[in-house]
A = this chain, B = another copy of it.
Amino acid sequence: MKQMPQKPPTNLQALRTEIASRYEAMSPRLKQVASYVLDNPNDIAVETLSVIAGRCDVQPSTIVRFAKALGYGGASEMQRLFRDEILAASPSPSYSERVRQFRERSNSMDWFSPFNVMHDFTESNIIALEHLREGVSKDDLETVIDLMHKAHTVYLAGVRRSFPVAAYLAYSLSHVEKRAFLLDGVAGMTSEQSWMMGPEDIVIAVTFRPYASETADVAERAKANGTPLIAISDSRLNPVARDAAVCFEIKDAEVRQFRSLTASMCLAQTLVISYAYRFGANGGNGLGTHKGPAE
């Protein structure tokens, strides 16, 4: 036990802060407890010490030690805080009740509150993901995975709004041990970079309206060099998608005239993981060499 604060926190917020700030100095078992406590506050409020202990994979006495380390007399004293938090919350927040309240609030209140925007966003993105699941062809996926496998290097193109998707692909492909090169145009070298693409490579171009000329240029260069082109786009009716061997047509969510990237990112992730499972350096079970949860 390193320090023994005279004043244990008396409200949840303070407690969470205190735990976070002392986390580094804690022993391994205490860390286990700390992260469980932060992640599952309601469990702490409602379950008994021994079931909490079981879920942390720790002895009940460890929980008591944890509470004492924070300055409480015992674990029950700490639980009291979590229980009070629940009691302080609105009387009966049943799910349907909350939905009703939300409707009420948002109909009358301003549409522009961050809270409402978030609600819209999650809602629309969920719909977009459902569409993605229905809309992407099994064969297209197989074809692209196969092309990626055969390719020496995967080039990624995407600027502005599409850039995060291309960057994510470049990053995660190289993490599953596929050579990947992001045509990022740093130092204005896009044309030098894309000159390198050959027939043994492939390029994945991500482009959404309004289509960027940089990405179109890359597509053109790919055509000239005989490099197979895969497009991730919102339509087939643009120069990039038209020349693509495979075009994934993604309908991303649109919230108040702002297009989201959720579905595109989800597709990108699918491509990478599928590739890793099928052909990744570590064989069938895919992600083995990278220890622990992938980053």
Residues of A whose CB lies within 8 Å of any CB of B are 12-13, 16, 19-21, 23-24, 31, 34-35, 38-43, 45-47, 83, 85-87, 89-95, 111-115, 117-130, 132-133, 136, 138, 141-142, 145, 160-161, 163-165, 167-168, 171-172, 186, 208-210, 235-237, 239, 241-242, 251, 253-262, 265-267, 269-274, 277-278, 284-295
Residue of B nearest to A295 (CB): B161
Q: Which one of B83, B93, B120, B133 contacts A40 once the chains associate, using CB atoms below 8 Å?
A: B93
What's the least CB distance linking A228 to chain B, in Å?
16
Q: Is the CB of B40 within 8 A of A90?
A: yes
Nearest Cβ on chain B to A21's Cβ, whole angstroms? 6
Q: Are B254 and A294 in contact (CB under 8 A)?
A: yes
CB atoms of B290 and A120 under 8 A apart = yes
A216 CB, min distance to chain B CBs, angstroms = 12
- Alpha-carbon distance between A86 and B45 when the two chains are bound, in angstroms: 9
Residue of B whose beta carbon sits closest to that of A118: B270
Per a CB cutoff under 8 Å, which of B38, B130, B172, B261 touches A237?
A: B38
| 5 residue pairs, one from A and one from B, having the closest CB atoms | A254-B294, A164-B164, A114-B141, A112-B277, A114-B274
